[in-house]
A and B are shown apart, each in its own frame.
Chain A
Amino acid sequence: MQKTVSLTVNGKPVSATVEGRTLLVQLLREQLGLTGTHVGCDTSQCGACVVHVDGEAVKACTLLAVQADGHSVLTIEGVATGDTLHPMQEAFRNNHALQCGFCTPGMVMSALDLVKNNPNPTEREIREYLEGNLCRCTGYHNIVLAIAEGAAVMRGEPAPNVYGTAAE
């Protein structure tokens, strides 16, 4: 059974014909070419596919494409402004919070959701919030630092810049 869905993705209206079983993440990756949203598991646990639907963080593997019909989706591709990284993305870069980069889009989308609901999270709150996002490279240490720094900058405070400055 095929159905045409219309939704807003990263601020732009899009339409696509999908099967009933097509997942939102498949629509994004395979039909819309937005391959920044990743698939790391088949049990909705890894969080590599986290996007925002109507401003809420959602694992895009848990939603059928048809359920997104009429809704607004933000993916990692829509977070930066042109070549200027969002402060949370910049904090990830500044704190080396990514290595292979595969979990990173989901981590950033989750981090933005956390900070939206809790602008000044403690280390413990950050660690507990990340229950739904797996990373195999970083040991989470730098992700936790990055989210704290991203949140600080988003609050208008200076970046702690734990790792200091490099020679140029």
Chain B
Amino acid sequence: MATIGTPVRRREDFRFLTGGGTYTDDINRPGQLYAYILRSQHAHARIGGIDTAPAQRSSGVVAVYTGQDMTADGVGGLPCGWQIHSKDGSPMAEPPHPVLAVDRVRYVGDPVAVVIADTLALARDAAELVNVNYAEEPAAIDPVAALQPGAPQVNSEASGNLCYDWQLGDLAAVESAFAKATRIVRLDLANNRLVPNAMEPRAAIGEFNRATGEYTLYTTSQNPHVIRLLMGAFVLHIPEARLRVVAPDVGGGFGSKIYHYPEEAIVTWAAGKVHRPVKWTAERSESFISDAHGRDHVTHVELALDAQGKFLALKVSTVANLGAYLSTFAPAIPTYLYGTLLAGTYTTPAIYCETKAVFTNTVPIDAYRGAGRPEATFVLERIVDLAADEIGMDPAELRRRNFIPKDAYPYQTPVALQYDSGDYAATLELALKAADYQGFESRRREAMGRGKLRGIGIATYIEACGIAPSAVVGSLGARAGLYESAEVRVHPTGSVSVLTGTHSHGQGHETTFSQLVADTFGIPIDNVEIVHGDTDKIPYGMGTYGSRSIAVGGTAIVKAMDKVIAKGRKIAAHLLEAAEADVEFKDGKFTVAGTDRSRTLGEVALTAYVPHNYPIDELEPGLDETAFYDPKNFTFPSGAYIAEVEIDLETGQVAVVNFTASDDFGRIINPLIVAGQVHGGLAQGIGQALLEGCVYDKASGQLLTGSYNDYAMPRADDLPTFALSTNTTLCTHNPLGVKGCGEAGAIGAPAAITNALVDALKPLGVRHLDMPATSEKLWRTIQQHRAPIAAE
């Protein structure tokens, strides 16, 4: 009966495999109109005026709206959900973010007007007739250049384009440790800008019911309640009770579908104006210039070591690009989801991190799978590998010398986090063995005989997920709580509906959560239904991101089930004429301890809803409980990844020949689903390391990688078969012992791959490579480093 820990096949698959999924663009409402959004072609320009009259007269057009129309109607700007303070205590610069640009456009893709027509084709035809009078201005594109004096100003509210200048850690302790160090290793590196590229483009349908005054928004969201709150309270001023947000089947998110986007407000507001449903669906080229991008850091890092290779201190200075406006959670990413992770798996006693966040005339940047943690891991694992090289120590040995020992928990890092459990040395040994690390040098020699430079690279990672204790994040600037909710509704005949505030957009919650409920209640999985994604059905919850669903949402389900069982014991005690204290719940039955007298959960449920023989004076009827769970701490999944690559000496073509991932996710509910999460994260991490790079033209601000012709998505033949294993230590502060697994692969893989590439190129004297290490970049690197050798 215990399904937990076994590879239960997914319950959602039948509908997806037969074309029966319901994604937002699959929904069509009666009388529906179509919106086409006109976007800025310029990176930075003043809007002198917009002539919509010819478009208004175009065939099939119902309405054309501009930013002025929305402002005149009292529509507010898009809010930011996190406030960071600078070193000097001042709050971050927070420029307004209009839904449609009003007097200025700030990036290629900034929405300028919306055309609403009977068909999408007619809306698009009419949009060509909208005449926007642009006066182009110089654009700030490169984040480091944008901070220089005299750089074009993106927002007048952010002087010098600086949003904030933040710090974390004890600078004096770090400086003092550096003064005593035997060796200091320094590195400048960049973390490349990425486009999330969930396969389902974003879409939204707004609807207004004149009879009831109620609005409905169907949207591709990871967190429908968050959208309802932000759009209702801050943008459109619609009370929650009259606004329903539905996020049906959603085709991947990876962070990009967390945020409240302009198009959601546009279709909802417009539906209220034209009194017909309004649908918008992004084209992929539109996704590239309107979905929040990820990463984009430029960093200088220094590591101080003693003579034995112990890390004494770490100093990190980062410039983080935010794009043109603050996206919903953008300020938190290069700060509290980044600097706090710089201890990694190591005992480094002193750490200092400073981050300058900068506005540029590019698409807004926010969390993308891993969000801050991949950037921190890349910085740390690159400098550790470089240190190993400089002191001539095996990179595995240098890591072993610095791991937090397994008996040191709870472990307080110098950058605010308290790790609850882990065993990094054992996880690394597991990976080293699986990867045959010892046998590598013979494989390197063998490859050289074939004209291939073979390299091996290790990266360990720690992530803080299970986001997050509300009071803690509140003190760090979050403008929201980060608990999760669940309602467990036992129906009269014993089937169960679970209404969760989390959202599944590929994670398989309908299966994993059903396993939890089935095992706890001792009922078949088929008797459990998981409901998510509709604010009219589910309790207020924060949604899915930050690998939080099982650790926070799963715990909320456990808490609600605990309440059901507690009430059920009272009912069973009454039916069995026993003392409540003598009734225990096991294998789906309430039993009087030491007897065979019992009632099933179904019998107790029926009694609760047909309370003829019932302790009605003491107990309400019904068996339906809600719980909100606010986590006590973050969870700390960790792992050790080993990549093995081969680079063709003549062409620069690279192949990932082996990839070994050993992870500690705490208790695993469904190993099949967990493996899938790791595979997907690894693919995105390897994509970042080898293929994906978002490129803007630095003069014009045009996005040069604006389609799948130009942005290299990982394909099946770019990737290896992955070798996975797990080493489990349980989370100590949630009842399931779970840690979360959604982001791990994307966090650990970029550093493992880059370390392997640098190891492969070490014979040529290569010290570092920035991502993506495309074949072209590798070929050029090989040519540059071979030339001096050839000349000798």
Minimum CB distance partner of A92 in chain B: B17
Which residue of chain A is the closest to B686 with respect to CB atoms? A139
Check: B109 CB closer than 8 A to any chain A CB.
Answer: no
* Partner of A104 from B17, B26, B708, B719 at Cβ < 8 Å: B17
B-contacting 9-mer, from A35-43, A62-70, A152-160: A35-43
A37 to B717: give the CA distance in the assembly, Å: 24
Q: By the criterion CB–CB under 8 Å, are A98 and B16 in contact?
A: yes
State whether A42 and B715 are in contact (beta carbons under 8 Å apart), knowing that A36-B21, A96-B675, A101-B16 are contacts in the complex: no
Residues A138 and B19 in contact in the complex (CB < 8 Å), given A93-B13, A103-B199, A166-B9: no
Q: A143 vs B19: C-alpha distance in the bound complex, in angstroms?
A: 17
Q: Is A27 an interface residue (CB 8 A)?
A: no
CB closest chain-B residue, reference A98? B16
When the two chains form their complex, are residues B10 and A134 in contact, meaning their CB atoms are under 8 A apart? Answer: no
* B 264-306 binary contact with A (CB < 8 Å = 1; else 0): 0000000000000000000111000000000000000000000
Residues from chain A with a CB closer than 8 A to the CB of B72 are: none
B716, chain A: closest CB distance, angstroms: 4
Q: B447 in the interface, Cβ–Cβ < 8 Å?
A: no
**What is the CB-to-nearest-CB distance from B197 to chain A, in angstroms, rounded to a whole number?**
6
CA distance A106 to B28 in the complex (A): 22
Q: List residues of chain B with CB within 8 A of the CB of A5.
A: none
Q: Smallest distance from the beta carbon of B692 to chain A beta carbons, Å?
A: 11
| Interfacial chain A residues near B16, Cβ < 8 Å | 98, 101, 104
Residues of B within 8 A of A139 (CB): 679-684, 714, 719, 722, 745
Flag whether A4 is at the interface (Cβ < 8 A): no
Known: A40-B284, A138-B679. A34 touches B19 (CB 8 A): yes
CA distance A166 to B514 in the complex (A): 14
Tell which of B17, B22, B28, B507 has the most Cβ of chain A within 10 Å. B17
Give the distance in Å from the alpha carbon of A83 to the alpha carbon of B199 in the complex.
27
0 or 1 for each of A54-73: is its CB under 8 Å from B? (1 = yes): 00000000000000000000
Chain B contacts of A40 at CB under 8 A?
A: 199-201, 251, 284
Give Cα A103 to B713, complex, Å: 14
Flag if A131 contacts B715 (CB, 8 Å).
Answer: yes
**Total CB contacts across the A-B interface at under 8 A:** 200
* Bound form: Cα–Cα A133–B199 in Å: 11
How distant is A153 from chain B, measured CB to nearest CB, in Å? 15
| Contact flags B676-699 to A (C-beta < 8 A → 1, else 0) | 100111111000000000000000
Query: Closest chain B residue to A22 by CB distance?
Result: B121
Contact A77-B284, Cβ < 8 Å, known A40-B200, A100-B506, A140-B719: no
Tell whether B465 is near chain A: CB-to-CB under 8 Å. no
Of the residues B6, B20, B251, contact of A100 by C-beta under 8 Å: B251
Interface residues of B in 178-207 (CB under 8 A from A): 197-201
Enumerate B695-732 residues with CB–CB distance to A below 8 Å: 707-709, 713-717, 719, 721-722
* Minimal beta-carbon separation of B659 from chain A (angstroms): 10
Query: Which residues of chain B from 399 to 440 have any CB-CB distance to chain A below 8 Å in the complex?
Result: none
In this complex, the interface size class of chain B, counting residues with CB under 8 Å from chain A, is 35 or more
For B614-643 the 0/1 string (1 means CB < 8 A from A) is: 000000000000000000000000000000
How many Å lie between the Cα of A123 and that of B722 in the bound state? 13
B7 within 8 A of partner (CB): yes
A29, A34, A38, A46 — most chain B CB neighbours (10 Å): A38
B708 in contact with A46 (CB, 8 Å): yes
CB nearest to B285 among chain A residues? A42
B19 with A37: CB separation less than 8 A: yes
Nearest CB in chain B to that of A40: its residue: B199
Q: Are B19 and A136 in contact (CB-based, < 8 A)?
A: no
A166 to B28, CA, bound (A): 38
A137 at the interface (CB under 8 A from B): yes
B721 pairs with A85, CB closer than 8 A:
no
Which parts of A69-107 form the interface with B (CB within 8 Å)?
Answer: 75-77, 79-80, 85, 89, 92-94, 96, 98-105
Chain B residue with minimal CB distance to A134? B713
Whole-angstrom distance between the alpha carbons of A93 and B676 in the complex?
Answer: 12
Indicate if the CB atoms of B23 and A99 lie closer than 8 Å. no
Q: Which of B477-517 contact A (CB under 8 A)?
A: 505-508
Contacts of B508 in A (CB 8 A): 99
**Partner of A39 from B25, B197, B505, B708 at Cβ < 8 Å:** B25
Q: Mark A18-48, 1 if CB is under 8 A from B, else 0.
A: 0101000000011000111111111101101
B251: which A residues are within 8 A, CB to CB?
Answer: 38, 40, 100-102
Least CB distance, B780 to chain A, in whole angstroms: 25
Complex Cα distance, B679 from A138, in Å, reads 6
Q: Check B683 against A101 for contact (C-beta < 8 Å).
A: no
Give the chain A neighbours of B682 by CB distance below 8 A.
Answer: 139
A64 to chain B, nearest CB (A): 13
User: Which of A30, A37, A100, A130 is the one whose CB lies under 8 Å from B505?
Assistant: A100
Report whether B715 and A141 are in contact in the complex, using a CB–CB cutoff of 8 Å: no
Q: A36-B18, A96-B9, A108-B17 are in contact. Are A136 and B716 (CB under 8 A)?
A: no
Closest 8 CB pairs of A and B: A36-B19, A101-B16, A102-B251, A139-B683, A100-B506, A99-B506, A139-B679, A35-B26
Q: Which residues of A contact B (CB under 8 A)?
A: 19, 21, 29-30, 34-43, 45-46, 48, 75-77, 79-80, 85, 89, 92-94, 96, 98-105, 108, 123-124, 126-128, 130-131, 133-144, 163-168
A-B contacts, 20 listed (Cβ < 8 Å): A19-B121, A35-B22, A36-B20, A39-B25, A40-B200, A40-B251, A76-B18, A98-B16, A99-B506, A101-B21, A101-B251, A126-B716, A127-B716, A131-B715, A134-B715, A140-B679, A142-B679, A143-B716, A167-B1, A168-B1
